Amino acid sequence: MAPQPEPDVCVPAMNRTNPPTPWNLAARAARMNPSVIREILKVTERPGIISFAGGLPSGKTFPVDAFAAACSKVLRDDPVAALQYAASEGYGPLRALVARHLRAQSAAAGQDWDIDPDQVLITTGSQQGLDLVAKVLIDSGSRVLVESPTYLGAVMAFTPMEPEVVSIGNDADGVSIADLRAQGQAGAAARFLYVLPNFQNPSGRTMTRTRRIELSDAAADIGVPLIEDNPYGDLWFDTPPPPPLTALRPNAGIYLGSFSKVLAPGLRMGFLVAPHAVYPKLLQAKQAADLHSPSFNQRLIYEVMQDGFLDRHVPSIRTLYKAQRDAMLQALANAFPHANTDPEHALTWNTPAGGMFLWARLPRGMDATQLLPHAVEQGVAYVPGAPFYAGQADQRTMRLSFVTPSIEEIQRGVAALAATIRQHQPR
């Protein structure tokens, strides 16, 4: 008898991780898959493994005392409202505070941004903002432009709406304008370009001010709105990033922000800022999704933030993450002294100016996905870069998070990674 194929050989790659079901599922459900990263994390979370794979903020930065005080105050001052259903737009004082905060930040970066609090929608994490954007802007077959690489969670939010996801090339300064113009003119008009200008997840790259202006101009020329996702922008190390893209053309984009990286991700609190012309539709999608974000959590965030707490708290996160980044850079420089003179035969990496991630590239002939089990055997884990590409992946790339391991673990982990690479590097 001829050998039988493996049971899942005929299943399209997209469906590989979905178990068979007798249910008659919607076509879009077949496009939903467990996050590849979460699957990788399961393997890497074995005891004793030093993990550069996680994407979590450091728990050391969570302002527990400030939240404890805010909990008492909210329950004492306005318990019924805090525990009652509320408006879908979000808690008014928090919306006003977000608008003030963004206006001040943009002005400090040299760009006026006239935000009306009515344009702020409080979301259940910025991840929900991505989901609302997908529901309101994508039809089946719509073209959606993304960076290369890009945030996997955004692609997961867009995919059920059945778009054609098109990757736009990147260089160290940000999105390639030539590629954007070429893609913008090819095929049907794109619904939007999803872009992460600051300390990008996964690549750690920050878009320069010049590139932001060029990008805003090019997107306006070809009529493509920008969806700007900025959960890491406050986590700069030496100098604040240039102003948001949305501040350059407020009516041509939607801005997504998050409290996850500056306060705590478990509260699931984020926000979006949208032009008046599209806000009502996002609001209706939000109403259908969850009526509103938790009233209690919104008030907690407001109480914690209202006296300028972030101005005192966020610098301590920056200091911690910068020291962690420096430790990783130093460990990499020690382990790979020839990286800069011989980039094809040594690991190379960038120097993120903020955020949580560093982007590295293996020597020629190596593949980060294939190397991962060997690295785990040596006691260190990372996330291969390939899943972050919507188009052609660079198999040599990997994302290294520097924020959760201790400095001593960073040193041991990088040494283990270097040993793994040396063992498996083709001669």
Ligand X SMILES: Cc1ncc(COP(=O)(O)O)c(C=O)c1O
| Contact residues for ligand X, defined by CB under 6 A | 55, 125-127, 151, 153, 196, 201, 229, 231, 258, 260, 265, 270
Query: Closest separation between CB of residue 186 and ligand X, Å?
Result: 26
Query: Closest separation between CB of residue 238 and ligand X, Å?
Result: 21
User: Does residue 294 come out as left (phi exceeding 0), alpha (psi in the -120 to 50 range) or beta?
Assistant: beta
Query: Closest separation between CB of residue 55 and ligand X, Å?
Result: 5
Query: Closest separation between CB of residue 58 and ligand X, Å?
Result: 13
Residue nearest ligand X, CB atom distance? 125
Q: For CA atoms 341, 342, 347, 352, give the dihedral sign.
A: positive
Query: Closest separation between CB of residue 10 and ligand X, Å?
Result: 34
- Angstrom distance (rounded) from CA 97 to CA 130: 22
Query: Closest separation between CB of residue 419 and ligand X, Å?
Result: 30
Give me the DSSP letters along 49-68. Answer: -EES---PPPGGG--HHHHH
Query: Closest separation between CB of residue 270 and ligand X, Å?
Result: 4
Query: Closest separation between CB of residue 153 and ligand X, Å?
Result: 6
Nearer to ligand X, 199 or 336 (CB): 199
- Angstrom distance (rounded) from CA 251 to CA 344: 44
Nearer to ligand X, 89 or 229 (CB): 229
What H or E segment, with its residue span, contains residue 411? helix 407-424
- Angstrom distance (rounded) from CA 219 to CA 215: 6
- Angstrom distance (rounded) from CA 416 to CA 232: 28
Q: What six digits make up the tokens of 320?
A: 């911690």
Nearer to ligand X, 125 or 413 (CB): 125
Q: Give the residue among 402, 399, 396 at the shortest CA–CA distance from 331.
A: 402
Nearer to ligand X, 225 or 363 (CB): 225
Nearer to ligand X, 317 or 362 (CB): 317
Nearer to ligand X, 356 or 368 (CB): 356
The CA R_g of the chain, rounded to the nearest whole Å, is 22
Tell me how many degrees the CA angle 192-196-197 measures, rounded to the nearest 5: 115
Q: Please say whether the beta carbons of 230 and 263 come within 8 A.
A: no
- Angstrom distance (rounded) from CA 158 to CA 165: 9
Query: Closest separation between CB of residue 357 and ligand X, Å?
Result: 9
Query: Closest separation between CB of residue 137 and ligand X, Å?
Result: 17
174 φ, ψ (degrees, to nearest 5): 135, -160
Nearer to ligand X, 336 or 382 (CB): 382
163 φ, ψ (degrees, to nearest 5): -80, 165
- Angstrom distance (rounded) from CA 51 to CA 41: 9
What H or E segment, with its residue span, contains residue 195? strand 192-195
CA 171 to chain centre: 18
- Tally of residues, the chain: 427
Helices then strands, each counted (H, E), the chain: 15, 15
Nearer to ligand X, 70 or 269 (CB): 269
Residue with tokens 């390639």: 176
Q: What six digits make up the tokens of 293?
A: 């974000």
Nearer to ligand X, 401 or 411 (CB): 401
Count Cβ neighbours within 10 Å for each residue of 6-40 and write b for 16 or more, e otherwise: eeeeeeeeeeeebeeeeeeeeeeeebeeeebbeeb
Nearer to ligand X, 83 or 314 (CB): 314
Nearer to ligand X, 113 or 271 (CB): 271
Query: Closest separation between CB of residue 95 and ligand X, Å?
Result: 16
